[in-house]
Structure 1
Amino acid sequence: MRPTTTRRAHRLTGLALFCAGFAAGPVDAQTLPPSLIVVLVVDQMRADTIERYSDQWTSGLRRLLDEGAVFREAKHSYFGTLTCAGHATIATGTVPRTHGMILDGWWDPMAGQRVRCTADDTVEIVAYGPGARERHGPAHMLVPTLADELRLQNDPPAQVAAFAVKARAAVPLAGRRGDAVAWFDAGNVWTTSTAFTDAPLPFIANYIRAQPVEDALGLVWTPLHGSSATTSTKGGDFAHTLAAEPGREFYNAWRRSPWADQYVTGLAIASVDALALGAGSGTDYLAVGFSAPDYVGHDFGPHSAEVQDIYLRLDRAIGRLLDHLDRNVGHDRYVVALSADHGLGPTPEHATEMGLDAGRIDRREVIDHVNAVLEPFFGPGKHAVGMTHIEFYFALGVYDRLLASPEALSAVLEALEQYPGIHRVYRGEELETGPFGDRVTQQVARSYYPERSGDLVIIPKPYWYTWVRAADHGTGYDYDARVPLVIAGPGIIPGHYSTAAAPEDLAPTLAFLAGVTLARPDGLVLTDALSDRNRP
């Protein structure tokens, strides 16, 4: 095991070795750039998942742990740990302050509504069936992804494929362009957009036609043989039956089942064959977002029987993908990176039972409370209008009035900081310049993008959340921020590393292996795990 280092020492060491390596070339003469980069992102996976459940894994996850470089101290370096922010961070090598994809979206004071991070009015829907409702694309992403750079710098350009149930996972992983990109629309149909293609791709259409989602109608999710948990966290036997007829109930349950991740695995395998990924002279790119664990974790909690089983099944799904890559690309011709967009906290009820201060903060009640505080100063009205997890927004012009009225601003801040479950409140302007003296403020600043973040940023106490679900995430506390980080393949030294690492380090490391340059990464090349780290 490597000795633990601070992030600063890691940064300096990584920079020195990177510069030395750049002068000598992207990789040593005996390690060619990979023919294919595979990025696997688990939507919701705590770092301690490995310690809890890995003894049950026998396939893909087990292989990555045995053959890869495993960074035991990896954690997201910012505070707002949600799906869109996490996938964009992994895809670009930057933090939300740079890539702009904060949380899962933000409040638009001009429109008076929430903006989803991948909502894109510049594109048209390209659907693989009837009913698609939403237009998604990369318009809000502010920096190129690793996939973009592989397309730009490779000759011929890299082929890019990305799949996930959630659009806010698939789109950031793909970037500005992609040869095959798809997600499962809110209208319950596989979909893409004109950001990626002008018409449905035949191989995806054929796959969906041959293996419709509706094949799961009436299936019963029970624990796999070998799982040590057979009782549902919500009581009773672990047996979740999907509806027998297509409709909202069925599709919502399907998203929350292992069959969803198996489906995107099948799409990924089909893309390897149809696009001949990894068969060309350059480096292609395949990204898969596994969305089901997030839904399951929210419903049942991080240590539930359902979460344990969803990872056991994910182990097999990833194994199926890796076996296919071995046969069709070559075991020593592709590099795999695995991480997660965020972890998950315990249910507040369980934390309370254990004697901890925990709970949920009702965002609508917080908005109403602030409006009541402001009424003596500004009169009745909707002065505060939106709150998205940690970001708090006032109506247009109200925050300027607050800045001009120290007494009113002080009353708002005092009322919020005394509100149950709230740890601290930042004014937006506090986060625009550094340096910042404490870790939490550093994390919050890395999540702050002035044009999209709130007028105020509200930080909950540990084990408090601003969303009414059984279990949640979205903070920078370790149960949300610490995630697995594994890289395996040619040029990587297997082993367990205690050096500091973050998911934003994946894209720079993969770019280094492929011999391409990222424009302005916040992450670092993980030089400790490179086989050529000691070259002159």
Structure 2
Amino acid sequence: MTLTRRTWLLVPVLAALAACSHTPSDATTDAVAAPLAPTTAPAAKPPKLVVFMVVDGLPIRQVLGYRDQLQPDGFRRFLDRGTWFANAYYGHGYTVTAAGHSVMLSGAYPQRSSIIGNEWRHPVTGDEVYNTEDSRYQYIGHKTEPHAGTSPENYKVETVGDVLRTVQPGSKMIGISGKDRGAILPSGHKGTAYMYMGSTGQFASTTYYMQKHPAWVESFNAAKPADQFFGKAWTPMLPESAYARSVPDGQPWQANSGNGNRLPAVLGANMDGPGPRFYGNILPSPFGDELTLAFARAAVEGEQLGADDQTDILSVSLSSHDYVNHAFGPESRLSHDHFLHLDRHLQSWFQYLDQRIGRGNYIAVLTADHGFMDTPEWARGQGRDAGRINPAQVVGYVNAGLSKQYGEGRWVRGFSATGLQFDEALIQTKGLRNDDVYAKAKALAEEIPGVQVAFTRAQLAGNDTTTPFLEQMRKSWHPDVAAPLQLVPKPGWMFGSRLMGTTHGSPHEYDTHVPLLTWGPAWVGQGEVAQRVEVADLAPTLARILGIPAPRQAQGKLLPLPASGVAAEKKAH
């Protein structure tokens, strides 16, 4: 938008704790699978390690669309030998990275967590607010830019990891990601987050968590693992004919910066050696995932995760696919090939965990923070209605209409997340009712080509559950921080001033329908579940498996997992 990113052995007291905590109702069932038994005790001894995986910006249609080209034990571990949900959705409407990561392990939507977007503007001052910014803390050993993500201060709910560490303080919660928000939000308030530093190719935490890195982190960074990718080529995994279902490289709408928009692509081309530009270019390539998983292995060993009977949680958010999809579109050969590289990396990662932790000692979960829309120019070429909406032009058009109605003035100050923020002092000075101005602005915004609908504060604060998209946008709207007029683009349309690439951030299916894949036969069983579920259901389900109370603000239900070790009846999706 208008803002930019700078860039188990549990004691019996558990039963009493669970009895007085929030316990979500069981999910409704169908013939596919029965829900977990309604008891506070886990069905099996809890796993030694929960491996929670996020692939940033991965729509389920890519997982299923390339299923025939997958490795035997990457994504197929979930699809062939785990339990996966063919119809898993986000229930909120502004589907961006921070919002998605805030839901996964809390089960709470932005209407409760206050993480309404990656960034927004303060409702009174209009100042920029980044979702995990906290000026009291700094990156360890690295420069901390203004608005850098350094703590979960703005995150107003607890996570599964927070509950686990409250009940069982000896458990560890480690979050790792190429993005600060991808590490900090799943880690909650009581975990420890490590994020990739694009200036140095290292991983770092912040002084919110510690004053000095442990020895294993120092050792990892000292070895300069990112430098091994200098001069390395990203080459296609398969013969050219295997990519017939995706769009060829070098299209005019594909961003041609960083590593270019054609394969093979050599990292560090035309550079003298590793430096900040090279380190930044690692993330939008398969090597970003490889480096992140290498750090995750170091964390498993350095922190001795899964080494005893106190369950640990390791969250690994892989950021590279999001960068690739933004630049080239999910329809591209570059995205197709990146997904296949990711699949190979996951296979190696799971084989490592099998050896290190033991196949019967851990549970793996994989989801995404949001999906992705096709690039508008390509979609138009396929005969679909699609396009770009310039946020500055939206603000200008609405301001012009409000000035004609109420007199000259800069009535709309700009975008805040996916909403329009108003000059409330001007409205008051003119003696106008806020809701009247919002209603007029709504009518003006809905005249703009590409805008599906706009919702006012009165609608978002109400209880109408029948108007399309309103309930989704309500779940994205926190009254203390969100703008009073929320906008929804039409399907195929995107807000953005760039003329290349594509994005996400709508309540439409391509942005909300994501993978929700689980593996760990003793705890999740096996089979495809066709029943519609939400990613918010994951947090209370994991809490049930661990035998702990669900996070207090969780809005999800229990996932309809098959009975442990029993294959669920498969349904065609």
Q: How many pairs align? A: 516
> Partner residue of 1:103?
117
Does residue 242 of structure 1 match 2:267? yes
Alpha-carbon spacing, 1:32–1:464, altered in 2? closer, same or farther (3 Å): same
Supply the distance in 1 between the matched residues of 2:161 and 2:220 (Cα, whole angstroms).
24
**Residue 125 of structure 1: SS of its match in structure 2?**
coil
- Shift, 1:183, TM fit: 0.8
Could you tell me which residue of structure 2 aligns to residue 480 of structure 1?
511
1:270 aligns to what? 298
Residue type at the aligned position of 1:488: W
Match of 2:184 in 1: 171
CA separation in 2, counterparts of 1:106 and 1:186?
23
Comparing 485-494 with 229-238, greater Cα deviation is found at 229-238
| 1:233 corresponds to | 249
Q: 2:482 corresponds to which residue?
A: 453
* Per-residue deviation, residues 460-516 of structure 1 (Å, max 9, x unmatched): 111111123511110010011100101110221111110111111111111111111
Kept in 2, the 8 Å contact 1:177–1:195? The answer is no
1:365 to 393, 406, 409: 393
Structure with the larger helix share? 1
Q: Secondary structure at the match of 1:182?
A: strand
Deviations 1:264-313 (A, max 9, x none): 10111111111111112211000000100000001111121111111111
Question: Which amino acid in 2 is paired with 1:182?
Answer: Y
Q: Among residues 138, 152, 156, which one is paired with 1:124 in the alignment?
A: 138
For each residue in 1:313-358, what CA deviation from the matched residue of structure 2 results, as whole angstroms up to 9, or x when unmatched?
1112222221121112110111111100011011110121122221
Distance 1:447 1:411, change over 3 A: closer
The residue number in structure 2 matching 1:505 is 537
Question: Hey, what's the Cα distance between the residues in 2 that align with 1:135 and 1:49?
Answer: 30
- Select which of 117, 120, 127 maps to 1:113: 127
CA distance in structure 2 between the aligned counterparts of 1:114 and 1:322, rounded to whole angstroms: 40
Query: Relative to structure 1, is the Cα distance of residues 198 and 399 closer, same or farther in structure 2, using a 3 angstrom cutoff?
Result: farther
Which residue of structure 2 aligns with residue 329 of structure 1? 357
Q: TM-score, normalised by structure 2?
A: 0.85
Contact kept in structure 1, 2:149 and 2:180, CA below 8 Å: no
The percent identity for this pair of structures is 28
TM-score (norm 1): 0.90
Which amino acid in 2 is paired with 1:303?
E
In the alignment, the residues of structure 2 paired with residue 218 and residue 423 of structure 1 have an alpha-carbon distance, to the nearest angstrom, of: 46
**What does 1:25-36 correspond to in 2, within 5 Å?**
25-28=40-43, 31-36=44-49
User: Distance between the aligned counterparts of 2:434 and 2:197, measured in 1?
Assistant: 46
Query: Any unmatched runs of 5+ in structure 2?
Result: 1-23, 252-260, 567-573
Structure 1 residue identity aligned to 2:153: A
Q: Counterpart in 1 of 2:527? A: 495
* Residues in 2 aligned to 1:411 and 1:313: alpha-carbon distance in whole angstroms: 50
1:465 matched to 2:494: yes
SS, match of residue 393 in structure 1: strand
Deviations 1:157-182 (A, max 9, x none): 31111110100111001111224x21
Looking at structure 1, the residues matched to 374 and 158 of structure 2 have their Cα atoms a distance apart, in angstroms, of 35
SS of the counterpart of 1:476? Answer: coil
> Which residue of the partner structure matches residue 420 of structure 1?
449
Q: Paired residue for 1:3?
A: none
Report the CA distance between 1:109 and its aligned residue.
3.7
56-65 vs 399-408, greater mean Cα deviation: 399-408
Matched, 1:184 2:226: no
Rounded to whole Å, the distance in 2 between the matches of 1:192 and 1:312 is: 30
Deviation at 1:35, TM superposition (A): 0.8
Q: For structure 1, which runs of at least 5 residues remain unmatched after alignment?
A: 1-7
Equivalent position SS for 2:140: strand
Amino acid at match of 2:167: Q
Aligned to 1:139, the other structure's residue is in SS state: coil
CA RMSD after TM alignment? 2.5
Q: Contact 1:80–1:476 at 8 Å: present in 2 too?
A: yes
Contact 1:160 1:178 (8 Å CA) reproduced: yes
Q: Which amino acid aligns with 2:556?
A: G
Amino acid at match of 2:514: V
Matched, 1:222 2:235: yes
Instruction: Provide, for residues 173-223 of structure 1, a one-character-per-residue CA deviation record: whole Å limited to 9, x for no partner.
Output: 1111224x2112454453221222111222112112214323322222111
CA contact (8 A) 2:439 2:456 kept: no
Pair 66,433 (structure 1): closer, same or farther in 2 beyond 3 Å = same
Say which SS state the counterpart of residue 377 (structure 2) adopts.
Answer: helix
1:316 has 2:344 as partner: yes
